[in-house]
Chain A
Amino acid sequence: MTEAKIRIVMAKPGLDGHDRGAKVVARALRDAGFEVIYTGLHQTPEMVVTAAIQEDADAIGLSILSGAHMTLFPRVVQLLREKGAGDIVVFGGGIIPEEDVTSLKSAGVAEVFTPGTSLETIVRWVREHVKPRGVRT
């Protein structure tokens, strides 16, 4: 059996169009050897979760800079659980105040990367925390 590649859906939930961070992180993850599927902009949590399940993703990377993270990130986690895909790891980043990071983590977001995080940090975190789940049954 060949080693399965980690598959990551990079998504921009919400209405903000600031996709610089999402794209830079997507490229870095791809260059690091992961398979990356970028959803494009203005995705609802439902669209993100559907894409992740269809793509058989191991993780979802969410990027948001509009301030709607407290609504949209937990919604993605909740929808994954409802659809029996709660094992897909959710991480995210953006303009997210420190006090919100704690609440997001207790809502099931595995990690939150705030401004100034290096690409190397994100790549290393994904290597350590996301495992290929194998073929879904």
Chain B
Amino acid sequence: MSDKRTLYGPGDLGRLTYERDLGDPGAYPFTRGIHPSMYRGRLWTMRQFAGFGSAADSNRRFHYLLEHGTTGLSVAFDMPTLMGYDSDHPKALGEVGREGVAIDTVEDMKVLLAGLPLDRVTTSMTINAPANVLLAMYVVAAEEGGFAREHLGGTTQTDMLKEFIAQKEWVVPPRPSMRFIQDMLVFGTRELPRWNIISISGYHIREAGATAAQELAFTLADGIAYVQAGIEAGLDVDVFAPRLSFFFDCHNDFFEEIAKFRAARRMWARIMRERFKATEPRSWWLRFHTQTAGVSLTAQQPLNNIVRVALQALAAVLGGTQSLHTNSMDETYALPTEEAVRVALRTQQIIAHESGVANAADPLGGSYFVEALTNRMEDEAGAYIRKIDDLGGMVRAVELGFPQREIADASFRFQQALERKEKIIVGVNDFVVPEETPIATLRIDPEVERSQIERLRQVRASREEGAARRALAALKAAIESGENTMYPIVDAVRARASVGEICDVYRAAYGEYREPAII
């Protein structure tokens, strides 16, 4: 926040009235939280994002996390999977299993999920462009393992708008991407009562350099576009809206972040009730996962990152998050080691069980400063949302490059502020020491790529080729006829078609998205 005033008082609350703008926790507009007792009733879910190397490597990490008290799983996929390429695609060279787990076919998914109680743990999958394929793989792997689809709980990210805005892993252009999402919403509503189809994500927008107000605004504007898409697909808003969830970043500016979360709840409740006429209170809830800000971690003096993460995690809890991932101290170097992941998880447990902050709901509600910041965050984000509405909605704004340009400008201003030392990052542009020996980091064995390609070839060689081809042809026909694509995708996955083969059908139908390069 640019405002550097020292003191806030009753005069800063402006228009604020308790019943209309705050309400008790659990009451509209949910500024103070979505549940009456908040963490006294139930702690947030401690959900650590993990995935690297082969499916077997990642499966071992999931079992490790469950043994150490994590309460939900979160899968990171490697770059080829995120872009809908198989491990043997030329563009996958050097990328297989590096930044997440490599999944080519349902056989890999079965290894990834081996021995996990899929009717009891919930699984979050950070997957977007091929989210429909990975969701189908999860369903098929679970069913082949004896779990019924109606018992499966979890989340697919499926937020393509933020991919075009910030994270930039895509297959087809924005409009066909929205059509696939509509099909997933319909499928999820019919078949997967415990699955959250979309996690509307500000995290990547913020990490790409957005300000807190931009993160809030663009995320809610994306949410508006998805609700609109669901309604246009013929769904009743109160049927699918309760299962939309959000995912935010939690950065360094402690009170600004708390205000962002509080403003987000109030704004979404009003958007859902007033704009979309939702009548179910659960449709008005903004439920969210938080991850501490990866971009705030420093390679210099890495132990300091533990402190940054603790402060960010505390802000997320004071902001009322439903689940939380705490980053590990070594993530500016590589994926985290087990020891670093344990410290990150322990940070959450210390906040939950030792600090006492979980005892009262919205303990900062009524603070002149926090309420004034919450109002200001709402005003700034609201102005952006009006601008996006004027452009014709978020899909159009993305095609015009509007949010992309706003973020690029903000990230450049931030870097300039660092260079001028208007902002200080401890150990980077001030309080610098000669660097000590680097800390231990996780290395991915290059052998993973070779053996993953071998596994994929084996699956292709042993499947019934005719069935796989027929399933892919049926998918192509569904894309052309306008039928729901999820059912033929499930069939193709069951026939052992790969991520790349299925996404090739998308690419053939709609063309590949190419971003205009904007500096």
* A41 contacts B94, C-beta separation under 8 Å: no
* A42 contacts B91, C-beta separation under 8 Å: yes
Within 8 A of A (CB), among B435-449: 438, 441, 444
Is the contact region of chain A dominated by helix, strand, or loop, or is it mixed?
loop
Other-chain residue from A14, A39, A40, A120 in contact with B79 (beta carbon distance below 8 A): A14
Within 8 A of B (CB), among A1-41: 14-20, 23-24, 26-28, 30, 36, 38-41
Within 8 A of A (CB), among B92-108: 92-95, 98-99
* A24 contacts B415, C-beta separation under 8 Å: yes
Other-chain residue from B95, B166, B441, B515 in contact with A15 (beta carbon distance below 8 A): B95
* A20 contacts B332, C-beta separation under 8 Å: no
Q: How long is the Cα–Cα vector from A39 to B416 in the complex, in angstroms?
A: 23
* B208 contacts A40, C-beta separation under 8 Å: no
* B517 contacts A98, C-beta separation under 8 Å: no
* Chain A residue with Cβ nearest B92: A15
Does chain B have a CB within 8 A of A118?
Answer: yes
Other-chain residue from B98, B208, B416, B418 in contact with A20 (beta carbon distance below 8 A): B208
* A71 contacts B94, C-beta separation under 8 Å: yes
* Chain B residue with Cβ nearest A13: B94
* A14 contacts B441, C-beta separation under 8 Å: no
Q: A38-B517, A41-B515 are in contact. Are A20 and B411 (CB under 8 A)?
A: yes
Is the contact region of chain B dominated by helix, strand, or loop, or is it mixed?
loop
* B83 contacts A15, C-beta separation under 8 Å: yes
Which one of B90, B168, B209, B519 has the greatest number of beta carbons of chain A within 10 Å? B519
* A70 contacts B94, C-beta separation under 8 Å: yes
Does chain A have a CB within 8 A of B359?
Answer: no
Within 8 A of A (CB), among B331-373: 332-335
* B419 contacts A120, C-beta separation under 8 Å: yes
B295 to chain A, nearest CB (A): 8
Does chain A have a CB within 8 A of B8?
Answer: no
What sequence of 0s and 1s flags, for each residue 423-442 of chain B, a beta carbon within 8 Å of any chain A beta carbon?
00100110000000010010
Q: Which residues of A contact B168 (CB under 8 A)?
A: 17-19, 41
Within 8 A of A (CB), among B401-423: 408, 411-412, 415-416, 418-419
* Chain A residue with Cβ nearest B90: A44
* A20 contacts B79, C-beta separation under 8 Å: no
Does chain A have a CB within 8 A of B80?
Answer: yes
A68 to chain B, nearest CB (A): 4
Q: How long is the Cα–Cα vector from A114 to B90 in the complex, in angstroms?
A: 27
Which one of B95, B411, B416, B516 has the greatest number of beta carbons of chain A within 10 Å? B95
Within 8 A of A (CB), among B74-91: 79-80, 82-83, 85, 90-91
Q: Which residues of B contact A18 (CB under 8 A)?
A: 168, 207-208
Q: How many residues of A contact B (CB 8 A)?
A: 36
Other-chain residue from B94, B416, B438 in contact with A68 (beta carbon distance below 8 A): B94
Q: Which residues of B contact A107 (CB under 8 A)?
A: none
* B82 contacts A15, C-beta separation under 8 Å: yes
A26 to chain B, nearest CB (A): 5
Does chain B have a CB within 8 A of A119?
Answer: yes
Other-chain residue from B93, B167, B412 in contact with A27 (beta carbon distance below 8 A): B412
Q: Which residues of B contact A66 (CB under 8 A)?
A: 79, 95, 98-99
* Chain A residue with Cβ nearest B97: A67
Does chain A have a CB within 8 A of B169?
Answer: yes
Other-chain residue from A27, A95, A98 in contact with B438 (beta carbon distance below 8 A): A98
Q: How long is the Cα–Cα vector from A65 to B209 in the complex, in angstroms?
A: 15
Q: A24-B412, A26-B519, A95-B333 are in contact. Are A15 and B169 (CB under 8 A)?
A: yes
Q: A66-B95, A67-B334 are in contact. Are A20 and B207 (CB under 8 A)?
A: yes
* A38 contacts B519, C-beta separation under 8 Å: yes
Q: Which residues of B contact A115 (CB under 8 A)?
A: 298-299, 332
Does chain B have a CB within 8 A of A84?
Answer: no
Other-chain residue from A24, A38, A97 in contact with B441 (beta carbon distance below 8 A): A97
* Chain A residue with Cβ nearest B297: A115
Within 8 A of A (CB), among B308-338: 332-335
Q: Which residues of A contact B484 (CB under 8 A)?
A: none
* B418 contacts A118, C-beta separation under 8 Å: yes
* B429 contacts A97, C-beta separation under 8 Å: no
Within 8 A of A (CB), among B450-476: none
Does chain A have a CB within 8 A of B300?
Answer: yes
Q: How long is the Cα–Cα vector from A36 to B99 in the complex, in angstroms?
A: 29
* B79 contacts A116, C-beta separation under 8 Å: no
Does chain B have a CB within 8 A of A72?
Answer: yes
Q: Which residues of A contact B333 (CB under 8 A)?
A: 95, 97
Other-chain residue from A30, A72, A118 in contact with B419 (beta carbon distance below 8 A): A118
Q: How long is the Cα–Cα vector from A19 to B519 in the complex, in angstroms?
A: 10
B95 to chain A, nearest CB (A): 5
Within 8 A of B (CB), among A107-121: 114-116, 118-120
Q: Which residues of B contact A120 (CB under 8 A)?
A: 419
* B299 contacts A15, C-beta separation under 8 Å: no
Q: How long is the Cα–Cα vector from A108 to B207 in the complex, in angstroms?
A: 31
* B94 contacts A116, C-beta separation under 8 Å: no
* Other contacts beyond A23-B411, A24-B209, A66-B95: 6, CB < 8 A: A17-B163, A17-B166, A17-B168, A18-B208, A20-B208, A97-B438
**What is the interface of chain B, defined by CB distance below 8 A to chain A?**
79-80, 82-83, 85, 90-95, 98-99, 163, 166-169, 207-209, 295, 298-300, 332-335, 408, 411-412, 415-416, 418-419, 425, 428-429, 438, 441, 444, 514-519
**What is the interface of chain A, defined by CB distance below 8 A to chain B?**
14-20, 23-24, 26-28, 30, 36, 38-42, 44, 66-68, 70-72, 95, 97-99, 114-116, 118-120
Instruction: Give the 8 A-B CB pairs with smallest separation, nearest first.
Output: A17-B168, A71-B94, A40-B517, A68-B94, A15-B79, A67-B98, A115-B299, A116-B428
